[in-house]
């Protein structure tokens, strides 16, 4: 997991070839024209999910992981709170991995909570269980989804 300000994103580009395209997208967004929902960038290889609204609170947020995508979770308004736990310390829930939605939920509780303030981002890799939108307040977010197998797509 990474937590930083968007203007510092360049230091992470070597970690995955798709991160550069994801950060370029975030730096060039017209924030006043964002609409909630899925925004296509580069097919299934790179896309963004925009949402804004009241969070679920810590008790309503569930830890999740993804196998096919890396998340860049960027807060453009308000502050999001996100729980984190190492995947190795989590127990799976009974519903298992949903291939179509690329998501699996877990019963463990977060090991830590991070605040992702306006202008900041958090990156979650497949080994990072995360519980987004745990804020009790308002958060406007863009989640850029980057295919793990970027070079094969």
pLDDT of residue 59: 96
pLDDT in tens, 127-140: 999 999 999 999 99
Q: What is the pLDDT of residues 29-41, one digit of tens each?
A: 988 888 899 999 9
- pLDDT band of residue 13 (cuts 50, 70, 90) is very high
For the stretch 55-89, pLDDT in tens is: 999 999 999 999 999 999 999 999 999 999 999 99
Question: Dihedral (C-alpha) 54, 34, 40, 122: value to the nearest 10 degrees?
Answer: -50
pLDDT of residue 151: 80
CA of 131: how far to CAs of 6, 22, 42, in Å? 21, 21, 26
Task: Taking the CA atoms of 83, 17, 76 and 97 in sequence, report the sign of the dihedral they define.
Answer: negative
CB 65 within 8 A of CB 129: yes
Give the residue carrying structure tokens 């793990």. Answer: 148
Q: Encode burial over 35-44: b for 16+ CB neighbours within 10 A, e otherwise.
A: eeeeeebeee
pLDDT in tens, 82-126: 999 999 999 877 689 999 999 999 989 999 999 999 999 999 999
In CATH, the number for domain 2-152 is 2.60.120.370
pLDDT for res 95: 82
Asked whether residue 22 carries a pLDDT value surpassing 90, the answer given is: yes
- Looking at residue 34, its pLDDT comes to 84
């Amino acid at each position: 997991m990474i937590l930083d300000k968007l203007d510092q994103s360049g230091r992470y580009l070597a970690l995955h070839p798709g991160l550069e395209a994801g950060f370029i997208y975030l730096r060039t967004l017209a924030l006043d024209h964002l609409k909630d929902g899925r925004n296509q960038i580069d097919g299934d290889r790179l896309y963004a999910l925009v949402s804004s609204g009241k969070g679920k609170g810590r008790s309503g947020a569930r830890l999740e992981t993804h196998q096919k995508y890396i998340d860049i979770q960027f807060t453009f308004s308000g502050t999001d709170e996100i729980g984190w736990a190492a995947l190795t310390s989590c127990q799976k829930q009974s519903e298992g991995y949903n291939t179509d939605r690329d998501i699996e939920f877990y019963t463990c509780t977060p090991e830590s909570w991070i605040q992702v303030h306006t202008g900041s981002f958090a990156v979650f890799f497949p080994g990072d269980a995360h519980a987004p939108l745990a804020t009790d307040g308002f958060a406007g977010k863009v989640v850029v989804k980057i295919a793990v197998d970027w070079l094969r797509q």
